[in-house]
């Protein structure tokens, strides 16, 4: 993943594309349900748009916001911004008007690029306009009081929707920009420079923009690529959105290793199972049970046929869920666990296929690469020994450099020496395996006893009727708060609230037993996580 001329220098995103387009031009880089992109085709399309951005006044380092589902155009837009020397601002395609207005006012984007491909589900272009009150058009330029640097709106697709400019017209304007001018646009670009902003989910506060670089993303995802021995030509299933650190991280490491990604704009279990079998995908990276379990329970999934191509799957969750996945997969396929976050550019630790099963399914792995991880007292920040619970604090690898335009949040999260506070509770065992124990703020205080929601979730996930579970605290006059379990049942399961509570009694401490069980079929989600704050709003009286 380093440039060939200087092994100590990490390639930029643009470098990676140029390298692959030169040495593997006709190899497929990205496959979607109805189309695919070779490295050369991606480079050509991205260069055409990059010329248009430069002709429109984009200067090196300028920000361009991208708001799309997973599709070829997302990759074209991202690499166009990088070829033009700019910074890609990846916006959550699930943002609504309030969140989108907040981030557009904050990110200093010169341009916003979107697509009409989702119009039957959500009109992204209209959503962007609604999030920019007072937008005015002056000739070919736009302006908005809340986003003073914004001057361009660009739309992929067939729709004519002023003030958005069709991408074809932008490319036509850039045709006179020479190859030399395109190369000059990124003369000062460096792999360590901030070239990517990804907003955190904002489930409990306003979204914060993590400042990442091509180097941090590659150092982070090298940990995963090394674990699965990712080889040129191999394929990875990437259901995570490209605006998420997992999606863009896998897209980056695949390009760096000359591998290929398989993705789609929306997850539908039956269609995805057919796509993965058609493409004979080597590595599955669903991460979340909401993707992995429906996939492996789809009637289009055939355990026997998949034996011929699948090698690994990465998924996080309680041990019970991990064991379910293990049993559904072909016997040789190794289920792996991972710990990471946007602030680590994705991966911080991951278990390896050759690790002992109890460690591979029940821990997050050992520290690898140039990452450093400590467990610290959340109050004093003193480093704690093995066996003691505390906050996971890390540096190196993909550690975030800070939050854009937010010095207060940066100072709170990034400590002297580059150590980053995760806000997650963890522990090292005596053999150096990292155990994730939940969010620090996800601790309940029940009658003076600390209860980790993740611990109760892990136990409940072992019930045969439980497909997925989340535990929150509910205010209680006598005990301060008590546990409440939100549960999605497996298809056909008929477990009642009394059944679930009886399952807990006598097996876990009484203060950990949920006082209430709420059965749900849908979950309030951010990009990739259940929003527990919204679960509290759903509590019955």
Q: pLDDT (tens digit, 9 = 90+) per residue, 116-127?
A: 999 889 999 999
Contact between 527 and 510 under an 8 Å Cβ cutoff? The reply is no
Identify which has the larger pLDDT, 207 or 283. 283
Q: Name 56's bridge partners.
A: none
Strand-pair category, 28-32 with 260-262:
parallel
Closest CA to 220 of 310, 316, 338: 338
What pLDDT band is residue 229 in, cutting at 50, 70 and 90?
very high
**For the chain, percent of residues with pLDDT exceeding 70:** 97
pLDDT for 356 beyond 90: yes
In 214-253, where do the E strands start and end? 235-237
| Dihedral sign from CA coordinates of 158, 156, 18, 248 | negative
Domain 13-22+35-199 and domain 447-537, same fold? Reply is no
pLDDT at 97: 86
Taking the C-alpha atoms of residue 184 and residue 304, their distance in angstroms, rounded to an integer, is 53
Contact between 151 and 141 under an 8 Å Cβ cutoff? The reply is yes
Question: 13-22+35-199: which CATH topology?
Answer: Rossmann fold (3.40.50)
Mean pLDDT value across residues 327-344? 97
Mean pLDDT value across residues 436-443? 84
pLDDT at 223: 98
Average per-residue pLDDT for the chain: 93
Mean pLDDT value across residues 29-36? 98
What pLDDT band is residue 6 in, cutting at 50, 70 and 90?
low
pLDDT at 533: 84
Q: At what angle do helices 13-23 and 39-55 cross, to 10 degrees?
A: 140
pLDDT at 527: 66
| C-alpha pair distances (Å), 413 with each of 203, 384, 420, 526 | 17, 19, 6, 21
For the chain, the domains span 13-22+35-199, 447-537
| Dihedral sign from CA coordinates of 212, 218, 223, 225 | positive
pLDDT at 205: 58
What pLDDT band is residue 513 in, cutting at 50, 70 and 90?
very high
CA count, 13 A, side-chain hemisphere, 251: 27
What pLDDT band is residue 288 in, cutting at 50, 70 and 90?
confident
pLDDT digits (tens, 9 = 90+) for 253-269: 999 999 999 999 999 99
pLDDT for 436 beyond 80: yes
Closest CA to 119 of 229, 218, 303, 265: 265
pLDDT at 525: 81
Taking the C-alpha atoms of residue 535 and residue 530, their distance in angstroms, rounded to an integer, is 8
Contact between 24 and 258 under an 8 Å Cβ cutoff? The reply is yes
Strand-pair category, 194-199 with 209-213:
antiparallel
Closest CA to 64 of 136, 151, 131, 132: 151
Mean pLDDT value across residues 342-363? 97
* Helix/strand/coil for 531: coil
438 phi-psi bin (left φ>0, alpha ψ -120 to 50, beta other): left
What pLDDT band is residue 201 in, cutting at 50, 70 and 90?
low
Closest CA to 15 of 256, 263, 213: 256
Strand-pair category, 420-428 with 390-395:
antiparallel
pLDDT at 256: 98
pLDDT at 200: 85
Taking the C-alpha atoms of residue 418 and residue 125, their distance in angstroms, rounded to an integer, is 39
Cβ of 325: how many Cβ atoms within 10 Å? 21
pLDDT at 5: 46
Q: Which of 405-414, 457-466, 522-531 has the lowest mean pLDDT?
A: 522-531
Q: At what angle do helices 453-460 and 497-504 cross, to 10 degrees?
A: 110
Alpha helices in 371-447 (DSSP H): 407-413
pLDDT for 473 beyond 60: yes
pLDDT digits (tens, 9 = 90+) for 130-145: 999 999 988 779 999 9
pLDDT at 8: 60
CB neighbour burial string for 75-102, b if at least 16 within 10 angstroms, e if fewer: bbbbbbbbbbbbbbbbbbbbbeeebbbb
Phi, psi at 220, each rounded to 5°: -65, -50
Span 447-537: which CATH code? 3.30.300.30
Q: Which are the contacts of 506, defined by CB distance < 8 A and separation ≥ 6?
A: none
Cβ of 268: how many Cβ atoms within 10 Å? 14
Alpha helices in 393-452 (DSSP H): 407-413
Q: Name 466's bridge partners.
A: 489
CA count, 13 A, side-chain hemisphere, 52: 25
Strand-pair category, 87-90 with 194-199:
parallel
Cβ of 25: how many Cβ atoms within 10 Å? 13
Question: How many residues appear in the chain?
Answer: 541
């Amino acid at each position: 993943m380093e440039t060939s001329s200087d092994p100590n220098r990490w390639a930029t995103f643009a470098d990676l594309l140029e390298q692959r387009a030169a040495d593997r031009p006709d190899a497929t880089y990205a496959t979607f349900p109805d189309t695919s992109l070779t490295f050369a085709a991606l480079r050509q399309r991205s260069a055409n748009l990059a010329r248009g951005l430069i002709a429109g006044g984009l200067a090196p380092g300028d920000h361009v916001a991208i708001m799309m589902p997973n599709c070829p155009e997302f990759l074209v837009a991202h690499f166009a911004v990088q070829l033009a020397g700019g910074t890609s601002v990846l916006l959550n395609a699930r943002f609504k008007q309030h969140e989108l207005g907040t981030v557009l006012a904050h990110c200093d984007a010169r341009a916003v690029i979107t697509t009409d491909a989702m119009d039957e589900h959500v009109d992204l272009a209209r959503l962007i306009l609604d999030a920019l009150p007072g937008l005015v058009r002056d000739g070919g330029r736009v302006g908005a009081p809340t986003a003073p640097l914004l001057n361009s709106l660009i739309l992929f697709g067939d729709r004519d929707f002023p003030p958005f400019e069709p991408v074809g017209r932008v490319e036509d304007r850039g045709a006179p920009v020479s190859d030399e001018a395109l190369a000059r646009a990124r003369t000062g670009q460096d792999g360590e420079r901030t070239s990517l902003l990804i907003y955190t989910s904002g489930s409990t506060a306003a979204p914060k923009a993590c400042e990442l670089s091509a180097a941090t993303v590659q150092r982070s995802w090298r940990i995963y690529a090394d674990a699965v021995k990712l080889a040129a030509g191999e394929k990875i299933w990437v259901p995570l959105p490209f605006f998420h650190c997992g999606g863009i991280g896998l897209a980056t490491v695949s390009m760096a290793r000359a591998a290929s990604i398989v993705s789609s704009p929306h997850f539908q279990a039956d269609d995805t199972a057919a796509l993965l079998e058609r493409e004979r995908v080597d590595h599955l990276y669903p991460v979340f049970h909401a993707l992995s379990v429906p996939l492996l329970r789809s009637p289009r999934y055939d355990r026997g046929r998949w034996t011929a191509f699948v090698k690994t799957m990465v998924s996080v969750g309680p041990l019970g869920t991990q064991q379910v996945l293990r049993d559904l997969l072909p016997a040789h396929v190794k289920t792996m666990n991972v710990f990471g976050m946007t602030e680590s550019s994705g991966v911080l630790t991951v278990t390896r296929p050759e690790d002992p099963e109890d460690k591979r399914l029940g821990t997050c792995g050992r520290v690898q690469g140039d990452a450093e991880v400590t467990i610290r007292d959340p109050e004093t920040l003193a480093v704690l020994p093995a066996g003691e619970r505390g906050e996971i604090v890390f540096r190196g690898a993909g550690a975030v450099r800070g939050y854009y335009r937010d010095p207060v949040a940066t100072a709170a999260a990034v400590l002297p020496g580059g150590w980053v506070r995760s806000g997650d509770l963890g522990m090292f065992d005596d053999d150096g395996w990292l155990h994730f124990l939940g969010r620090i703020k996800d601790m309940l205080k029940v009658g003076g006893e600390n209860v980790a929601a993740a611990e109760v979730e892990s136990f409940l996930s072992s019930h045969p009727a439980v497909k997925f579970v989340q535990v929150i605290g509910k205010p209680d006059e006598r005990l301060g708060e008590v546990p409440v379990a939100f549960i999605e049942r497996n298809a056909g399961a008929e477990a009642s609230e009394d059944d679930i509570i009886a399952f807990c009694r006598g097996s876990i401490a009484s203060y950990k037993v949920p006082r209430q069980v709420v059965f749900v079929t849908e979950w309030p989600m951010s990009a990739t996580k259940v929003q527990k704050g919204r679960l509290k709003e759903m509590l019955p009286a």
